[in-house]
Amino acid sequence: MSISLEIFGDNWSLLIVRDLMVRGFRTFKEFEESGEGIATNVLADRLKKLVAAGIISTEVDGTDGRRVNYRLTEKGIGLAPVLLELLIWGSRHERTGASCGVIEEMAKHREEVLAEVRRRWRERDSTPLLPRTGGWRWQ
């Protein structure tokens, strides 16, 4: 547990991983404009730490050599079951912005949700799993 907390024991690291995995974010600007209120210096620091830990990697955008895209590594996508359980736990025990019905459906279909997250990662599909409109797009 202590090793994991060294990587994720702050307010932002798991949110960045969540945004990569669930919201389809890829760029610094997307993280910055996510609505979470992370300061740019903190965001830059957390991204560097996640890269150093092997959770995410950087790729230069093929269309714009100046822009960097972030991507979960295999180690990072391995966090999918943990994030799903945290999402389910949070919606059951705390007030969240996520639709309880959507989260309960995800809880009933854990394996299918995880398979879809992994498929999107393998195929580099950045379509949000839970788009901002609150709908659910994995079916």
The answer to whether residue 88 sits within a structural domain is yes
The answer to whether residue 13 sits within a structural domain is yes
The answer to whether residue 128 sits within a structural domain is no
Domain count within the chain: 1
The answer to whether residue 68 sits within a structural domain is yes
pTM of the shown model = 0.82
CB 79 within 8 A of CB 18: no
CB 15 within 8 A of CB 45: no
CATH of the domain at 37: 1.10.10.10
Between 51 and 100, the higher pLDDT residue: 51
Q: Which one-letter amino acid corresponds to residue 101?
A: G
| Band of pLDDT at residue 139, cut at 50, 70 and 90 | very low
The answer to whether residue 25 sits within a structural domain is yes
User: Tell me: the pLDDT tens digits for 93-109?
Assistant: 877 665 667 788 889 99
Range of the domain at 8: 2-122
User: Tell me: the pLDDT tens digits for 9-46?
Assistant: 788 999 999 999 989 999 999 999 988 889 999 999 99
